[in-house]
């Protein structure tokens, strides 16, 4: 019985720890991948609301990827939005974008 309980506890911790998204990881992803095109992050983040970001970043950010892929101005980012890295980090990016959206009242700190 103890082994079963220990195994279940280990499995739960492992599984649920991957479900948590982190705002700071999203900020790191934004700085690494998005700042090149969106040069003024404060102005960019202030353009959309939390609900807009939540909707657009659902399904691993497919809508945002589509917006970038169909735009010729974003040609430099096409490879990133088609990559596994984007789909893996989309939840973190989503949390970051919602945390600092226009209606959040929060201001991100960029060093």
Tens-digit pLDDT profile for residues 39-66: 887 788 888 999 999 999 999 999 999 9
Residue 26 has a CB neighbour count (10 Å cut-off) of 23
Q: Rounded to two decimals, what is the model's pTM?
A: 0.75
Residue 42 has a CB neighbour count (10 Å cut-off) of 10
In this prediction, residue 62 carries a pLDDT of 93
Of all helices (H) and strands (E), which one includes residue 62? helix 58-69
Residue 94 pLDDT more than 70?
A: yes
Cα–Cα distance measured from residue 4 to residue 49, given in angstroms and rounded to the nearest whole number: 45
In this prediction, residue 96 carries a pLDDT of 92
Residue 18 pLDDT more than 60?
A: no
């Amino acid at each position: 019985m103890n082994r079963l309980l220990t195994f279940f506890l280990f499995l739960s911790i492992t599984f649920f720890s991957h479900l948590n998204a982190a705002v700071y990881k999203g900020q790191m992803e934004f700085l690494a991948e998005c700042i090149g095109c969106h040069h003024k992050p404060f102005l960019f983040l202030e353009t959309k609301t939390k609900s807009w970001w939540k909707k657009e970043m659902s399904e691993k950010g497919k809508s945002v990827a589509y917006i970038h892929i169909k735009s010729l101005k974003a040609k430099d980012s096409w490879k990133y939005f088609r990559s596994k890295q984007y789909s893996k980090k989309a939840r973190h990016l989503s949390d970051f974008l919602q945390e600092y959206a226009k209606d959040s009242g929060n201001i991100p700190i960029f060093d």
